[in-house]
Amino acid sequence: MPMSAKRPISLATVGYLNVLPNAVNIVPAKVELKIDLRDLSQEHLDNILSELKQQLNLIAEATKTEIVITQALHVLPNFSSSKNSRCDRPSLPTPKLKSHLFT
């Protein structure tokens, strides 16, 4: 799909991974990971989460493993083009942050 075509812009990152027993050449008995899903649309996030759950259920059935999904945090998508008022003061520099979602 061309980049100019309208499509959901989503981002998923794994920021935490805990593998037990965390030893070389050992199949882990337990793996914990935390995934951060981001999008500017709650509908897109809901669709991504639904698809992720379906795929994880298929993996659990195929591998005869237990996969537990726990939602730890839910923040509604919010995009504001205005700067934070604290950064509007001339004495404070406004940081330029790059994010895949907003480029």
24-57 confidence digits (pLDDT tens): 999 999 999 999 998 888 999 999 999 999 999 9
Q: Which pairs count as long-range contacts for 29-34, CB under 8 Å and 24+ apart, including other chains?
A: 34/72
Is a pLDDT exceeding 50 seen at residue 3?
Answer: no
- Residue 94: inside a domain, yes or no? yes
CATH number at residue 62: 3.30.70
Of 100, 41, 49, the C-alpha closest to 76 is 41
Of 64, 87, 74, the C-alpha closest to 42 is 74
- Residue 36: inside a domain, yes or no? yes
Domain count, the chain: 1
Domain holding 51, by residue range, is: 10-102
pLDDT of res. 69: 92
Question: What does the block give as tokens for 34?
Answer: 């935390």
- Residue 38: inside a domain, yes or no? yes
Q: What is the mean pLDDT of residues 46-70?
A: 95
- Residue 90: inside a domain, yes or no? yes
- Residue 3: inside a domain, yes or no? no
- Residue 1: inside a domain, yes or no? no
- Residue 91: inside a domain, yes or no? yes
- Residue 5: inside a domain, yes or no? no
pTM for the complete prediction?
Answer: 0.66
Q: What is the mean pLDDT of residues 60-79?
A: 89
